[in-house]
Structure 1
Amino acid sequence: MLAALQAARRPVFIAGRGARAAGDPLTRLADACGALLAVSAAAKGLFAGNPWNLDVAGGFATPLATELIGAADLVVAWGSTLNMWTTRHGELIPSSAVVVQVDHDPAAFGVNRPVDLTVAGDVAAVAEAVHDRLGDQPTGSVAGGWRTPELAQRIRDHGRWRTVPYRDEGGGTPATIDPRTLSAALDDLLPPDRTVVVDSGNFMGYPSMWLDVPDVAGFCFTQAFQSVGLGLASALGAAVARPDRLTVAALGDGGFLMSAAELVTAVRLALPLLVVIYDDAAYGAEVHHFGPDGHPLETVTFLDTDLAAIASGYGCDGLTIRTVDDLAPVRRWLAGPRTRPLVVDAKVCGARGSWWLEEGSAATEPAPCA
């Protein structure tokens, strides 16, 4: 592995769930060998604030992250099995790149794709050992200038989804709000110290990628089995565990309807919990996966339901929004005292699938940000 790092000119580290406690040693090693930093979705926030952070690799990756990871000549997976989501169905990492996998469990090696070199051991310990062995020896990347001022500027300018232009698709009668516009407005509105908990569904890329988090503890991704409906209960746990931070539960309407009874506990504990429902009146992933092939959708589409009223019935504050201006009550709630949860029923446009879902359906053909 040391030789691979010394030879590489364009190394990229991808840190996964198994590297969540190894941010500092990985950062030091990346600085020493000139690597760019990326994470799987489960480790979002691990390198928050680092100027060489490309954020999430794979289906959630920005166009810039996709370009740069696609140009790597060495990819080191730290505590990540490089599953299809992290590798964009295998298309993200170039075939010419050397791939190294570091994991404490040898059974994880090569389970999702072939790798060229494996290292068994604790991620942090391996990173520290390699850093010590590397010492002052120059690497190809440092000598060749992968980390240039120009690239740092590109990451600042284009390294977040918020900086990628899009055509707002909100509006209509009755009005709906574009989930990107909603998420960006929330990101501006919410305090920086936050825990973002995301349920599963067509919507999930928007809060995952448009809402910043302060560190790896600030992001809870409930996607291990792609099971819808786990977000709200997970958010309750996060709110109890970290009362010093605002907990934001980002749910789809399907997941909310599956788990709404959890609000009883949130009210009983007087949790200052913000629940944002990306409400497209459907199980959106199923609609956009199966609708184009002509499958009937009656069982996965809903009547337009007043989810804010349902939340109020549980004792929460409830709010329906269709435009950015409708978010004003959220600002007032944030100002305090936040003695009971606020549930926001955001009526989002759902005419097409999210960008990552379109890409996943195509499997090999990149989709536009839609």
Structure 2
Amino acid sequence: MTKPSDHAAQCGAELIVKNLVAHGVTHVFGIPGAKVDRLFDALVDSPIETVVTRHEQNAAFIAGGLGRLTGKAGVAIATSGPGASNFVTGLATANSEGDPVLAIGGAVKLADRLKLTHQTMDTVSLFKPITKYSVEITNPLAISEVMANAFRFAESGRPGASFVSTPMDVLSMPADAPVLADRAVPKSGTAAAEAIAEAAKLLKNARRPVVLLGLLASRPDVAEAVRAFVATTGVPVVGTYQAAGAVSHELVDRFGGRVGLFRNQHGDQLLHEADVVVTVGYNPVEYDPWLWNVNDARKIINIDIVAAELDNAFVPVVELVGEIPPTVKALAKEAGKLARAPELEAILEGYKAARSGALRDARSTSNTAVHPLQIVRELEQIVTPDVTLCLDMGTFHIWLARYLLSFRARQVLISNGQQTMGVGLPWGIAASLVNPAQKVISISGDGGFMMSSMELETAVRLKCNLIHMVWIDQAYNMVEMQEKKKYGRGSGVDFGPIDFAMYAEACGAKGITVTSADGVGKALKAAMDIEGPVVIAVPVDYSQNHLLMKPLAQLGETSAAA
């Protein structure tokens, strides 16, 4: 007598959950609804923790933060129609930032897909342009295949987002199929030996080589290899905003700062003077090549897990395609110690002097607001290697990206691909879940905070070990700054005040308002000793914002590199 299949009694929703468990998923984030409630019900009987969020966009943000910090896809779930469509910004952000995410969206019954019925929407087509993988499960036998491939697309190569649509009736159908989401993805190995040899020859013949680190360089395993490369070769290194933390404290003398947005940093000058630039894990979305590679005079060696997406200003002469850590280590061994160029050493010294001078001399012109660099000075005392920093989007993030150093891989989470507002607090929640014993500081402007501030209640419910700082100026300041430069005035940027300390208290968090630089330091120290979420509200003096766009005097339009 044959035994019944082990899979025969399970429905589609239960098979999806089994695939999530097999893949090591510990949390899912989202909001239920009638079209996807069978999946939420199946989660109750699993070891996975379901975190109910206050908005689906923030569920995707939290999942993206989890993906960036762990390398494993974070999972978000929403119901059909507007529930799933609210994922759009979160998935577009994750895809641009290289953060592995799997979003599961409910859908109407298969027979209703072409009808004008409640919450019908072609979400698969909606998500195709902004994800690596977007499909609908039309048969329960395909569930494990789709789930396994969704995870593979999200996590392999250059990570990004996957979307899976789950029709209501498929979730309830019998699903007699094995789990497939526990299969490891094969590694691609080191780049070709001949390409490494060619790149090493270019480096040995270079007079002014410079390394440009991209977002994948801040992955812990890549950062380790990068540090070995810089220590071996001695080359100057700069990074995009997303590469924060890739350079260790021991190598700070080789670090020329972060570049992004405006081409006026010492790091830009290093790239401008370089005759060979080695890009590691760099994606043009982080910082447009036409900004840093002005006249295309320098040769580019590109090291990445995938072939470069060519740009008129980004055409590598050598591409090292393969697993980045062993490839970087192999190139370091082949290239060896390289001579230091006096011109580049002078720029490195100039960067250090300019940064320390700006931090030392920063003073507010207001009696009730604080200069951005005064806040950076206070944060320097608090953001130790065991503190994770999650930044939202706004003028404040430029000040922090340029002046606040970090020396731990993935210690700082920054968005510079889609430049998405509202990510700071959700990413802070993700960081708290990954390392609950460590303090997390998330920072946003008052504009960006109100795009995801409802998740403060979620942070309270989860007892997140989180400090959220709000920089206040009652305007969409980054937009205003650029408008003033172009038109001499701002437009459409002003909004009214909110008492953020009271808002925090209403959500069950601790709220603190400060109006001086000394108050910032005291508030941060006090918040470090408080259990659970704390909101620190700081009025900021942005009168020096024009300096962020001021040209660097030494940076010309004609490269010295021949």
Sort the TM-score into its range (normalised by shorter chain). 0.7 to 0.9
1:146 maps to 341
Are the aligned partners of 2:437 and 2:465 in contact in 1 as well (CA < 8 Å)? no
- Structure 1 pair 321/271, CA: closer, same or farther in 2 (3 Å)? same
Aligned letter for 2:240? S
1:73-94 CA distance string (max 9 Å, x none): 210111103457365x524666
Partner residue of 1:248?
441
Q: Which of 201, 208, 225 is equivalent to 2:394?
A: 201
Distance verdict in 2 for CA 1:83–1:72, change over 3 Å? farther
Does the 8 Å CA contact 1:46/1:215 hold for their aligned counterparts? yes
The CA deviation at 1:214 is 3.6
Alignment of 1:120-135 (within 5 A): 120-134=321-335
1:254 aligned counterpart, secondary structure: helix
One of 247, 254, 257 as aligned partner of 1:52: 254
Structure 1 vs Structure 2 CA RMSD: 3.2
Larger displacement relative to structure 2 (124-133 or 226-235): 124-133
CA contact (8 A) 1:84 1:90 kept: no
Which residue in 2 is equivalent to 1:75? 277
1-side partners of 2:207 and 2:380: how far apart?
Answer: 36
Q: Is the 8 A contact 2:480 2:490 kept in 1?
A: no
1:333 aligned residue (505, 527, 533) = 527
Q: 1:178 to 1:256 in 2, by over 3 A?
A: same
TM-score computed with the length of structure 2 as normaliser? 0.56
Q: How many residues align?
A: 349
Equivalent residue, structure 2, for 1:16: 214
Given candidates 292, 298, 303, the residue that maps to 1:102 is: 303
Report the 3-state secondary structure (helix = DSSP H, G, I; strand = E; otherwise coil) of the residue aligned with 1:30.
Answer: helix
Aligned to 2:201: 3
> Which residue does the alignment assign to 1:33?
233
- Normalization by structure 1: what TM-score? 0.82
Give me the whole-angstrom Cα distance separating, in 1, the residues matched to 2:302 and 2:238: 14
- One-letter amino acid of the counterpart of residue 332, structure 1: A
- 3-state DSSP of counterpart to 1:106: coil
Distance 1:117 1:180 in 2: 40
Closer, same or farther in 2 for the Cα pair 1:59/1:223, shift >3 Å?
closer
* Residues 227-279 of structure 1 deviation map (CA, whole Å, 9 limit, x = unaligned): 21111111100111122432110101111111111100111122221111111
Residues 295, 61 of structure 1: alpha-carbon distance in 2 compared, 3 angstrom cutoff: closer
Amino acid at match of 1:79: G
Match of 1:119? 320
Q: 1:284-314: CA deviations, max 9, x gaps?
A: 12212234526763x4211232222211211
From the superposition, tell whether residues 28 and 268 of structure 1 become closer, same or farther in structure 2 (CA, over 3 Å): same
Q: Structure 1 residues 32, 272: CA separation in 2 closer, same or farther (over 3 Å shift)? A: closer
Compared CA separation, residues 164 and 170, structure 1 to 2 (3 A):
closer
Give, in whole Å, the separation in 1 of the partners of 2:302 and 2:228. 18
SS at match of 1:22: helix
Tell whether 2:90 aligns with 1:90: no
Q: Secondary structure at the match of 1:217?
A: coil
Cα 1:128–1:168 change in 2 (3 A) is closer
Secondary structure in 1 matching 2:327:
helix
Contact 1:270 1:341 in 2 (8 A): yes
Name the amino acid aligned to 1:16. G
Find the counterpart in structure 2 of residue 301 from structure 1: 494
Letter in 1 for 2:324: V
Q: Distance in 2 between matches of 1:125 and 1:320?
A: 48
* 1:224 aligns to 2:432 (yes or no): no
Rg: which structure is higher? 2
Q: Report SS of the residue matched to 2:475.
A: coil
Contact 2:467 2:527 in 1 (8 A): no
Q: 1:313 aligns with which of 501, 506, 509?
A: 506
Give the Cα–Cα distance (whole angstroms) in 1 for the partners of residues 223 and 204 of structure 2: 21
Q: Which amino acid aligns with 2:358?
A: V
Describe the shift of the 1:214–1:126 C-alpha distance in structure 2 as closer, same or farther (beyond 3 A): closer
Q: Is the 8 A contact 1:60 1:209 kept in 2?
A: no
1:162-181 CA-to-partner distances (Å, cap 9, x unmatched) read: 443676452436x1111111
Structure 2 unaligned segments of length 5 or more: list them. Answer: 1-198, 558-562
Aligned to 1:368: none
- Is the 8 Å Cα contact of residues 34 and 147 (structure 1) preserved in structure 2? no
**Higher relative contact order, chain-length normalized (CA < 8 Å, sep 6+):** 1
